[in-house]
Amino acid sequence: MEPLKAIPGTHDILPPDAERWDKLRSQIEQLMAQYGYGRIETPHFESVELFARGVGATSDIVQKEMYTFSDQGGRPLALRPEGTAGVVRAYLEAGLDRQRPFWKLWYWGPMFRAERPQKGRYRQFWQFGVEALGAAGPQIDAEQMVLALRIAAGWGLGAITMKINSVGDRDCRPAYRRMLHAFLTGVSDRLCPDCQRRLETNPLRILDCKEEACRAATADAPLLIDHLCPPCAGHFSSVREFLDLAEAPYEVDGRIVRGLDYYERTAFEITSANLGAQSSILGGGRYDGLSQALGGPAMPAVGWAAGVERFVLAAGEVKADTPLLDAFVATFPETVRAGYQLAESLRARGFCIDIDYLGRSMKAQLKEAGRSRSRCAIVVGPDEWGRDAVVLRDLARGTQEEVPVAQLADRLRHE
Ligand code: HAM
């Protein structure tokens, strides 16, 4: 029988990669605390309607990429393709706005999109993200971007670019959309089949199509950034002012549109030069209309999300060499029980300890101690054990000496 395999587009997170994931997560936890974000977890599946109303019925994500299914009660459900709609739903459902007028929340978890898998693009992938709910002013937009840059820098992603844009609001977008539609109708025969379809449903998306033909056809297209209403233009220039105050590097790019329909005003993306085609490591923007689209009150909000796999890929290979264990307990057949007791008593005192379970030779156990990235090996020899002692071996230096069991914890602490 053929061994079963993971579903295409999904992947396992194995050691030592899992360690890097944990490291990234703990760095993020620290920065989120520094910026005052509280954690939120929402379900991995929600109603299809949430995403149709939230992300947008005409978006590629809802039209082509959602994993949908019906449960036993016949309810139409979807594995979440992104986190923002669920966070806003949870916020409205719990009435968080009645407790405090402004919230900063962050999350980390798997998302699901039926995209064509390739390096850096998966069908189950992890995102971490932030959402700030309740503030309309430009300061929080800029602060979130600065936080994103800080996380990327802390993770050692040198060559990154942040591009920012304004996609206008309900006042200025309709007139611009008509202008863009008129322009695109004139070049529609040069657009890719996807963009020909988008012409009627979502013409703005055509501007950030990666197809060469579409890029050429839209080179002279009008950009919304040149046709913003005065309040949107004012918001955008204030966001830039706050970015400058923090000395954050960015470029203005009128073609950043983003693949989710909820954005208004601020939209931004961070790309990494270390990745190939899937270079976007983080994206976000303002979504002042989302609460109302979900049946809630008007509520300004802004957020971003980043791909964990892409963060890990963009950082490149990092050698896993930090010690994981304080000691590996190596035993002889006569000292298996003594070693077992010793390991448990050291763990009870807070040490990280592993031991042999396979009845291996001493040589093989010491080799395993090295593989397990232990600082030391504790050899429980029958003679030494008879004297209430063990041999403590420093694996990096290759030195060893006999140590009374009573002094072992102290020695391990200072080794
Ligand atoms: P998004 O741009 O669709 O935004 O996704 C954010 C990030 O998730 C991307 O920059 C990328 O790193 C990662 N990502 C997306 N799709 C995949 C995939 N198939 N495989 C691997 N990584 C992927 C959002 O999801 C919005 N909810 C962000 C947001 C939060 N806007 C406001 N608040």
pLDDT in tens, 147-186: 999 999 999 887 899 999 999 999 999 999 999 999 999 9
The residue whose CA is least distant from atom 1 of ligand 1 is 283
Do 77 and 143 have their domain in common? Answer: yes
Determine the atom of ligand 1 nearest the C-alpha atom of 282: 10
Do 354 and 386 have their domain in common? Answer: yes
Q: Say yes or no: CB of residue 138 within 6 Å of ligand 1.
A: no
Q: Say yes or no: CB of residue 112 within 6 Å of ligand 1.
A: no
Q: Average of pLDDT values for 319-334?
A: 91
Cα(62) to ligand 1 centroid in Å equals 14
Determine the atom of ligand 1 nearest the C-alpha atom of 85: 27
How far apart, in whole angstroms, are the C-alpha atoms of residue 141 and residue 135?
9
The residue whose CA is least distant from atom 31 of ligand 1 is 284
Cα(213) to ligand 1 centroid in Å equals 25
Residue 292 is assigned to a structural domain of this protein: yes
Q: Average of pLDDT values for 223-246?
A: 97
Q: Say yes or no: CB of residue 306 within 6 Å of ligand 1.
A: yes
How far apart, in whole angstroms, are the C-alpha atoms of residue 115 and residue 24?
25
Q: Using an 8 Å Cβ cutoff, are 176 and 167 in contact?
A: no
Residue 364 is assigned to a structural domain of this protein: yes
pLDDT, residue 223, reads 95
Do 329 and 305 have their domain in common? Answer: no
| Banded model confidence at residue 107, pLDDT cuts 50, 70, 90 | very high
Cα(51) to ligand 1 centroid in Å equals 14
Average pLDDT of every residue of the chain: 95
Sort residue 156 into left (φ over 0), alpha (ψ -120 to 50) or beta.
Answer: left
Tokens 């979502």: give the residue.
Answer: 202
Do 405 and 275 have their domain in common? Answer: no
Q: Say yes or no: CB of residue 145 within 6 Å of ligand 1.
A: no
| Banded model confidence at residue 208, pLDDT cuts 50, 70, 90 | confident
Least confident of 217-221, 348-352, 411-415: 411-415
Do 311 and 349 have their domain in common? Answer: no
Q: Using an 8 Å Cβ cutoff, are 372 and 343 in contact?
A: no
Rounded to two decimals, what is the model's pTM?
0.94
Q: Say yes or no: CB of residue 113 within 6 Å of ligand 1.
A: yes
Residue, of 276 and 46, whose pLDDT is higher: 46
Residue 254 is assigned to a structural domain of this protein: yes
Do 134 and 247 have their domain in common? Answer: yes
Is residue 120's pLDDT more than 90?
yes
| Banded model confidence at residue 321, pLDDT cuts 50, 70, 90 | confident
Do 307 and 329 have their domain in common? Answer: no
pLDDT in tens, 262-320: 999 999 999 999 888 778 999 999 999 999 999 999 999 999 999 999 999 998 877 77
Q: Which of 82, 151, 164, 275 to mutate to test the pocket of ligand 1 (most atoms within 8 A of CB)?
A: 82
Q: What is the domain-level CATH number for residue 72?
A: 3.30.930.10
Query: Which domain-ending residue is among 315, 333, 363?
Result: 315
